[in-house]
Structure 1
Amino acid sequence: MGLTRGDAATIKRVYNNNVLLAELGDGSEMVLVGKGIGFKHKPGEAVELEAADQRFVPDGSYAASHVAGVLGDAPLEQIELAQEITALAQVELKLEPRQSLLVPILDHLGFAVQRARDGIKVDFPLKWEVAQLYPAEGNLGRRVVELITARLGVALQEDEWVAFALHFVNQQWSKADFSKTVSMTETIARVFSLLSVRWGRNVDENALSASRFVTHLRYLFARPAEVTGAASIQVDVLASVREAYPEAADAALEVAKLIGGALRRDLGNDEISYLALHTSRLYVEMLNT
């Protein structure tokens, strides 16, 4: 937002000495952050926009009041660190620097720091799954934990990286609904477990074919049910796979049931066909190792 000297707004709410919610002349809202910007100010008073070190304009992820509330609960050093983490995710994971990432990162950062200070330990049951399914996000999550410890002088619980990694995954695929990201991660892990049990051998989840399979499964969770997102398959792929590798075809049908249950809808023939292509590649690769 371009500012000229003297641009001002009306204070709607003061959250603390460093954060306030302001209303612009056109009726829109903006969150202003700056050391002491809210000190001795009251709603209804004017405030110069250039007095703020940071200005947050709603981008559609959250209402301005929600952003202001989260920022208002956090020390300035945590706000700045959350922005740095968001910037890292933008560069390394190609994520958009949206408030839908900044706000949950800042919120989780505050809780993680408080837990560390209080000596409270929590379980992260998806640790193995996240490490296997989202290596890039997991690696950045570990760096984030190290960064927080170095910057704030607080030794976080080592496995906090899991939660940060899931926030990065959430931004890519499920946006603001974190519960869907957790469900997706749990379901994909169950898919690989199902294949290993069916075929009597562990599937190499680090293989390229497995990585492509995970990408496809994540896509199924990410897209709306009414959007096909791919050209219709004109041949009976499932029948072809069944003729060559019946175990891979049967596995695809079971995977389809598992995914369908998580999505609460039945997968279409084309979707099952694409699953069969992936399971056949995984099956052949497993036989050749």
Structure 2
Amino acid sequence: MNKKNFRILKILNNNIILAYDFKNKEDTILMGTGIGFGKKENKKVYISEDKIERSFVAYDENVKNEYFRLVKQIDCKIIEISEKIIDMAEMKLGDLNTHIHILLTDHIGFAIERVKSGLEIINPFIDEIKILYPDEFEIASKGIQMIKEILNVDLGYGEIGFIAMHLQSARKNINVKETMKNARILNEIIEIIEDGLKINLNKTDFNYKRLINHLQGALDRIKNNICIENPLLENIKEQFKDSFEIIKKIKIKIEEEYELEVPEQELGYMAIHIERLKTK
């Protein structure tokens, strides 16, 4: 049975401790049933690897302090569920930003309090999130089911999208507000298209998914100042005049939100996708 040498720095509760890992020379949050029981702070101990259910490195002093605060305030079961969701995510998505241990736990704790108080928050971007971040959405769905089974609290379908955005943000090392903004802008672009074409798009349709993915790719290129060639641009402007009028409104929306200029080449490709919707 392999054992690792640690110095106990802080005992948060019977199941969570902060310890210095002598082998890797770093402070680490260790989690496991009873891992803190009978331990004393500032003492060297050997801990069997099979007793460590989960761990993460606390690189940042602020991360440690925020996590300590959270552990004192939140039900241990919520922390355990949050860590299981993070484990599933890291197995499928790779390493996540360590702040996810604080942000996701805090978010789930608040969401549970909100539901118990009878407050419901609608997620207007749920369809876009499901298309853009399918892996994160799948993991979040399992997390919501876990919460329902263990805590007997149903956070609802919309909450899957919020958890998925937290996972996506930690995956890309960006603020969750940026992920939320991205979903909101896509949703508003869709509203411009629906208004311009006088239709309601079927959000389960393959063409809708293709449209969302193209728009996301266009936004990424615009934000990263990547310009693609469009040799058919003049023909598109001539043949798809109505669609290009809709695109002009989308151009204004994107430029207002990101304070960046949208290349006409991108507008041409967007017009093609809008034209396709007219023939469905």
Give the distance between the partners of 2:87 and 2:271, measured in 1 at CA.
Answer: 37
Cα deviation for residue 226 of structure 1 reads 4.3
2:126 paired residue number = 130
Q: Aligned to 2:29, what secondary structure does the other structure show? A: strand
Of 41-50 and 184-193, more deviation after overlay is shown by 41-50
> What corresponds to 2:261 in structure 1?
266
Q: Tell me how large the CA RMSD over aligned residues is.
A: 3.5
- Kept in 2, the 8 Å contact 1:57–1:64? The answer is no
Pairs within 5 Å for 1:8-87: 8-25=5-22, 27-39=25-37, 41-50=39-48, 52-58=52-58, 63-67=63-67, 70=70, 73-87=73-87
- Please give the per-residue CA displacement for 1:92-147, whole angstroms capped at 9, x wherever unaligned: xx52352455543333222233334x4341322x33x3125525455654553233
Q: What displacement does 1:188 show?
A: 0.8
Percentage of pairs with the same residue: 17
Structure 1 CA distance for aligned equivalents of residues 225 and 64 of structure 2: 31
Alpha-carbon distance, 1:166 to partner = 2.9
Segments of structure 1 that go 5 or more residues without pairing to the other structure are none
Deviations 1:30-70 (A, max 9, x none): 1112333334545422233435443222589x845545554
Cα distance in structure 2, aligned partners of 1:226 and 1:166: 21
Residue 279, structure 1, aligned to residue 279, structure 2? no
Equivalent of 1:243 in 228, 233, 238: 238
Distance (Å, rounded) in 2 between the aligned partners of 1:218 and 1:67: 34
Paired residues for 1:104-253 under 5 Å: 104-116=103-115, 118-124=116-122, 126-127=123-124, 129-135=125-131, 136=134, 141-157=140-156, 159-171=158-170, 175-221=173-219, 225-226=223-224, 228=226, 232-233=228-229, 235=231, 237-253=232-248
Q: Distance in 2 between matches of 1:96 and 1:194?
A: 36
Q: Is the 8 A contact 1:8 1:24 kept in 2?
A: yes
* 1:77 partner letter: K
Residue identity in the other structure for 2:45:
V
Note if contact 2:31-2:53 (Cα within 8 Å) is conserved in structure 1.
yes
CA contact (8 A) 2:16 2:29 kept: yes
Cα 1:29/1:184, change in 2 over 3 Å: same
2:81·2:143 contact (CA, 8 Å) conserved in 1? no
The number of aligned residues is 272
TM-score, with structure 1 as normaliser: 0.75
Partner of residue 251, structure 2: 256
| Paired residue secondary structure (2:93) | coil
Give 1:193 deviation, angstroms: 0.9
Q: Give the letter aligned to residue 12 of structure 1.
A: L
SS at match of 2:9: strand
Distance in 2 between the 1:286 and 1:114 partners? Answer: 42
8 A Cα contact 1:16 1:38, kept in partner: yes
- 1:209-246 Cα deviation digits (max 9, x unpaired): 43233223334555794452x6x4163x4322111101
Flag the 1:217–1:13 CA change in 2: closer, same or farther, 3 A: farther
Distance (whole Å) between structure 1 residues aligned to residue 90 and residue 21 of structure 2: 29
> What amino acid is the match of 1:288?
T
Q: Which amino acid aligns with 2:250?
A: V
